[in-house]
């Protein structure tokens, strides 16, 4: 059962690494975006793209963290651990659902804006 603990720990570390990577990547791109925003007309859309990208990293990390919790509970399957896992998975699933929904809405909004921009370009 000690092996399952290390597997759970490894999966959790991967989840944390995904979050850190997403934060660093988004931070660097955000700094570059803000430093060049005077030259760009559409920084709002770029910022929304950064939010979506960061949100996708968070979603991926949540999946890893849920997997780590499941494997960890398998190694110590007490009623208390299972109840705790159930509540953690429920909370993370709700967070994942709403984050994914927000990302989809933002994508649809961006597609509509691009379609309008393309229509305005062909009209003018």
Q: What is the mean pLDDT of the chain?
A: 83
Residue ranges in 1-124 assigned as alpha helix (H): 2-35, 43-75, 79-123
pLDDT digits (tens, 9 = 90+) for 57-90: 988 998 898 899 888 888 778 888 888 888 888 8
Rounded Cα distance, 57 and 23, in Å: 8
Q: Which residues contact 18 (CB under 8 A, 6 or more apart)?
A: 57, 60, 61, 64
Rounded Cα distance, 112 and 94, in Å: 27
Confidence check: pLDDT of 124 > 60: no
Rounded Cα distance, 47 and 109, in Å: 13
Confidence check: pLDDT of 20 > 70: yes
Q: Environment class of residue 122 by beta-carbon count within 10 Å: exposed (0-12), middle (13-18) or buried (19+)?
A: exposed
Tell me the percentage of the chain whose pLDDT exceeds 70: 91
pLDDT band at 25 (very low <50, low <70, confident <90, very high): very high
pLDDT band at 49 (very low <50, low <70, confident <90, very high): confident
pLDDT band at 39 (very low <50, low <70, confident <90, very high): low
- Which has more pLDDT, 103 or 11? 11
- Give pLDDT, residue 7: 92
Query: What count of other Cβ atoms lies within 10 Å of the Cβ of residue 115?
Result: 10
Confidence check: pLDDT of 101 > 90: no
């Amino acid at each position: 059962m000690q092996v399952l603990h290390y597997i759970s720990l490894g999966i959790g570390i991967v989840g944390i690494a995904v979050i850190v990577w997403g934060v660093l990547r988004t931070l660097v791109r955000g700094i570059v975006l803000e430093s060049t925003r005077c030259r760009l007309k559409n920084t709002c859309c770029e910022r929304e793209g950064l939010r979506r990208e960061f949100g996708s990293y968070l979603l991926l990390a949540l999946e890893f963290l849920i997997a780590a919790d499941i494997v960890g509970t398998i190694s110590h399957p007490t009623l208390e651990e299972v109840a705790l896992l159930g509540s953690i998975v429920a909370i993370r699933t709700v967070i994942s659902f709403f984050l994914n929904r927000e990302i989809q809405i933002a994508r649809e909004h961006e597609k509509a804006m691009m379609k309008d921009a393309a229509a305005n370009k062909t009209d003018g």
